A and B are shown apart, each in its own frame.
Chain A
Amino acid sequence: MNRTLMRVWQVGLLLVILLVWYFASNASDNVAFFFGKPVEVAQKLWRWFVTDADIYKHLGVTLVETLLAFAIGTLVGLGVGLWLALSPFASAVLDPYLKAANAMPRVILAPIFAMWFGLGIWSKVALAVTLVFFIVFFNVYQGVREVSPVVLANARMLGANARQLMRHVYVPSAMSWVFSSLHTSVGLAFVGAVVGEYLGSANGVGYLILQAEGSFDINTVFAGIVLLTVFALVLDGLVGLAERHLMKWQPSSGQTEKL
C-alpha cells in the first residue's frame, strides 16, 4: 500500500468536506444556522486559544475530571475484580446485582450525582467512574479467571504464598487485560466527564457547549465538538504510548502465541 498516496487522499477528503461546508453555509442562511460556518468555527477556536485564552480553564477542568475518574474507576475495578474472581461465593452472591448495574443506562445517574455531590467536578467524576469501573472490573475478572493453571501450579511449587501469588501472578495477568481495555476505559472516562458537564455544571468544555447551544451559537458548539475530538485523539495516543511501554512482555501479533 502506498502510504503517501493514502495520506494525500485523507487530507484531500478533509479539504473536500471543509469546502462543501464552506460554500453551502455561504450560499444558504439555513445551512449556516444549522451547521455553522467553518471560518467562524476556526475564529472561535483561535479566540479560545490565543486572543481571549479562556479555554484553558475549562479544558483543565475536563481533563482533571477525566483523569480522576479513570484513576478511581481503575483502582476500584481492579480491587473488586480481584476480590470477586478469587472468592467464588461472593461472586455468585453479587452476580445479579452486577449484571443489573451494568445493564442500567448509567448516564441517567447524572442528576442523582449532581444532587449528592453538587455541580462541581465530583458529580462528573462519579458519573465517569460508573462507566470506567465496569470495563475494568469485567476485564480483571476475566484476566484472573484465565490465568494459566500451569503457571499458577508452577508458582505454587516454587513456594509462592497467597500474597505472593496475588502480586506475582494474579495482578500481572489481570493488568494485561486492564491495559488491553485502556483505550475503551480512558475514552469512557472522557465521555462521562463531558456528559456530566453537559447535564449541569459551571465549568468545563461540556458546559461551554451547553451555554452556546442555549443561545443558538452553533459556531461555538461546533468549535467545542472539534476541540473534544482532537482532545480525545490526543488522550488515545498517550494511552497507546503507555501501553507499548508497560506491555513489552507481551508478544505483538506475528511474534509468538500469547500464553
Chain B
Amino acid sequence: MVNTSMAPALDLQAITCVFTSREAPGQRYTAVQEATLSVAPGEFVSVVGPTGCGKSTLLNVGAGLLAPSSGQVSVFGEPLTGLNRRAGYMFQTESLMPWKTALDNVIAGLVFRGTPAAEADRLGRAWMARVGLAGFEDRYPHQLSGGMRKRVAMAQTLILDPDIILMDEPFSALDIQTRQLMENELLELWAAPSASGASHGRAVLFITHDLDEAIALSDRVVVLSAGPATRPIGEFVIDLPRPRNVAEIRDQARFVELHAQIWAVLRDEVLKGYDQQKRRAA
C-alpha cells in the first residue's frame, strides 16, 4: 500500500508526447520530451515557457485527456488511468456550455455527480456570490463579459472542491485590471479550507507565459525549454511571504530579484522559440 499522504498530488515522470501529422503520417512532432514534474499536495506550481512550447500538452497529460507516448503519471501515488477524477481543469479558451445559464454551468459538475437539485442549487448560488456574480445566475454566457465568464468557469471548477486544480493560462484573455482581481480571488479561494476537510489543501498546476503572474501566485516556478521536445530546464522556489496581493507584490525587492534570475533562463528560450516560429512561417 502506497502511503498517499506523502505522495505528490500530481507526478509526471519522464513524459514524452509525439504527435503524428494526419496529412503526412511519416512526419512526427515531439511536443514534450522526457519531462518530469511533480506537485505536492497544497502546493502552487507555475509552469512558464515560450509560446507554443507544449505547456498545454503537459497539462492535458496531467488531466488524463491525453495519453503520453511514454512516461508515467501518478495521482496521489496511484497510477493514472483514464481521466484524472481528482482534478479540476480551467481551460484557456471558452469552455462554458453556451446553452446553459451561468448558474446551470456552475452546478453542471454537481448535476453530473448526482447531487440533489436543491442542494446543488444552494451551493451554486453560494459560489456565484463567492466569485462576485450574485444576481447574474440566469444570464447566458454570451450575456456576460469575458471576465465574468472566467469567474463562472472558476466557480464551475472549484465548486467540486478538487484536490488538484489544473489551469491553462486561464486569465490570458483578460485586461490587466480584471486579471489582477481574478488572481487575488484565485489565491484567496486556494487558501480557503477545503470543504471535504482534507488537511493538505489543494495542489495547483498553473500554466502561463507571463512570468510576473507566475511569480506573484506560486510557491515554485518551473521554466520549460522552447519546443519541440520541451522539457523543464529550471526550477525556482518563490519564497515571498503569503498572503500576497498580486498588484503590490511586484514592487518588492525580492520579487524583482527572482524575476531577474528566472528571466535570465527564460529569455534564451523565448528567443529560440520566436526564431523557430519565424522560420516555420517563412
Measuring CB to CB, which residues of chain A are less than 8 angstroms from any residue of chain B? 148, 150-151, 153-161, 164, 168-169, 172-173, 175-176, 248-251, 255-259
Contact = CB atoms under 8 A, between A and B. Distances in A.
Tell which of A151, A156, A159 has the most Cβ of chain B within 10 Å: A159
A161 B101 CA distance: 21
A172 B99 contact: yes
B99 A155 contact: no
B93 A158 contact: no
Interface residues of B, number: 29
A160 B112 contact: yes
A249 B94 contact: no
Interface in B95-135: 95-101, 108-109, 111-113
Interface of B: 63, 65, 83, 85, 87-89, 91, 93-101, 108-109, 111-113, 140-143, 156-157, 160
A150 B153 CA distance: 12
Contacts of B111: 164, 168
Contacts of B87: 157
Contacts of B157: 158
Given A148-B94, A157-B65, A249-B142, A176 B99 contact: yes
Question: Considering the complex of A and B, which 10 residue pairs feature the smallest CB-CB distances, nearest first?
Answer: A158-B109, A154-B95, A251-B142, A172-B99, A159-B112, A157-B89, A249-B140, A160-B112, A249-B99, A259-B98
Contacts of B96: 151, 154
Contacts of A153: 65, 89, 91, 95
24 contacts: A148-B94, A150-B91, A150-B95, A153-B95, A154-B91, A154-B96, A154-B156, A157-B88, A158-B112, A158-B157, A159-B85, A159-B112, A159-B113, A159-B160, A160-B108, A168-B108, A168-B111, A169-B97, A172-B100, A249-B98, A255-B142, A257-B142, A259-B94, A259-B141
Nearest to A152: B95
Contacts of A175: 99
A169 to B, nearest CB: 7
Contacts of A248: 140
A168 B112 CA distance: 9
A151 B112 contact: no
Given A176-B99, A249-B99, A156 B65 contact: yes
Contacts of A158: 88, 108-109, 112, 156-157, 160
B131 to A, nearest CB: 16
Given A151-B96, A153-B65, A173-B99, A250 B108 contact: no
A189 B83 CA distance: 45
Contact of A250 (B65, B142, B156): B142
A164 B114 CA distance: 11
A137 to B, nearest CB: 21
Nearest to B153: A154
Contacts of A160: 108, 112
A175 to B, nearest CB: 8
B100 A249 contact: yes
A149 B156 CA distance: 18
A151 B95 contact: yes
Contacts of A172: 97, 99-100
A168 B142 CA distance: 18
Nearest to B83: A156
A156 B65 CA distance: 9
A164 B111 CA distance: 9
Nearest to A164: B112
